[in-house]
Amino acid sequence: MADNDSRAGARYYNEAILDYTQRVHASHDAGLTRAFATPDGVPAIQLGMSEGKLVHLLVKMIGARKAVEVGTLVGYSGTQIARALAPGGHLWTCEFDPRHAELARANFAAAGVGDRVTIVVGPGVETLPTLNAHGPFDVVFIDADKQNYEHYGAWAIANLRPGGLVLGDNAFLFGQLCDDDARARAMRRFHEGVAAACDSVCIPTPDGLVLGIKR
Ligand code: DHB
Ligand code: MG
């Protein structure tokens, strides 16, 4: 493991450093503050603020115009993505829970991106194929039910343009990625599918973020 830098090397960050750098580089305006909040009954499972900013910058860096998100929650990552899109851009974001979708709709409007976001309500496995005709896409961000990542990853690879970006949150599967069960095996097939079709990496955010550029 001598060449595995995350095991061999020291980690120089701590809570104070993460708080400071998040505040300096990734602070929220009113729109992001609103979309980051999770009202009663909504799980606080959105991206962290620095991760949200990273996703924003990645989308901006590739000049993306057409994006798909799987897992809207109440619109935090969607706002980060939609605000990064080039002029005339559009985000289609898939959400299973109609109550989350309604909250997200209001949050997107308040963040000034209501006109460039379409929320598609239903199970991602069923709704993604309805988006094929809008593709090929520049970005697909996956942050939904973990047992279907393999499926979502395959859809992304089939519907991204060459040079398009696939992102997957929770790529460490809450620390269970290397377990010996069906869900972990499926998540590993997500990794392997992205790696086979893309130039890719998994970066050690708190729960892992996969990043791939389709060949
Ligand atoms: C859960 C889902 C997520 O996407 C996440 O980032 C953290 C937790 C969850 O389902 O518990
Ligand atoms: Mg997540």
How far is ligand 1, taken at its centre, from the CA of residue 138, in Å?
Answer: 24
7 falls in which pLDDT band (50, 70, 90)?
Answer: low
- The ligand 1 atom nearest the CA atom of 145: 10
pLDDT of residue 123: 98
pTM score: 0.96
State the alpha helices, DSSP H only, in 88-210.
Answer: 98-110, 124-127, 149-159, 182-197
pLDDT recorded at residue 6? 57
Q: How confident is the model at residue 145 (pLDDT cuts 50, 70, 90)?
A: very high
Does 1 score more than 50 pLDDT?
Answer: no
Closest CA to 167 of 59, 84, 74: 59
Residue with CA nearest ligand 1 atom 9: 45
Are the C-beta atoms of residues 200 and 210 closer than 8 Å to each other? yes
DSSP reduced 3-state for 36: helix
Provide the CATH number for the domain formed by 6-214 in this structure.
3.40.50.150
What is residue 11's predicted lDDT score, i.e. its pLDDT? 87
Contacts of 179 (CB under 8 A, 6+ apart): 173
pLDDT band at residue 4 under the 50/70/90 scheme: low
CA distances to 13, 33, 36, 108 from 30, in Å? 28, 5, 10, 12
Average pLDDT, the chain: 96
Report pLDDT for 144: 98
Are 65 and 138 in contact by the 8 Å Cβ rule? The answer is yes
The dihedral through the CA atoms of 182, 75, 135, 205 has a sign that is negative
Confidence at 10, pLDDT banded by 50, 70, 90:
confident
Summarize the confidence of residues 109-117 as an average pLDDT: 98
Q: Which ligand is nearest to the CA of 168?
A: 2
**Strand 66-70, strand 90-95: pairing:** parallel
Where do the structural domains in the chain lie, given as residue ranges? Answer: 6-214
Give the pLDDT mean for 1-6. 54
Could you report the per-residue pLDDT of 81-97, keeping only the tens digit for each? Answer: 999 999 999 999 999 99
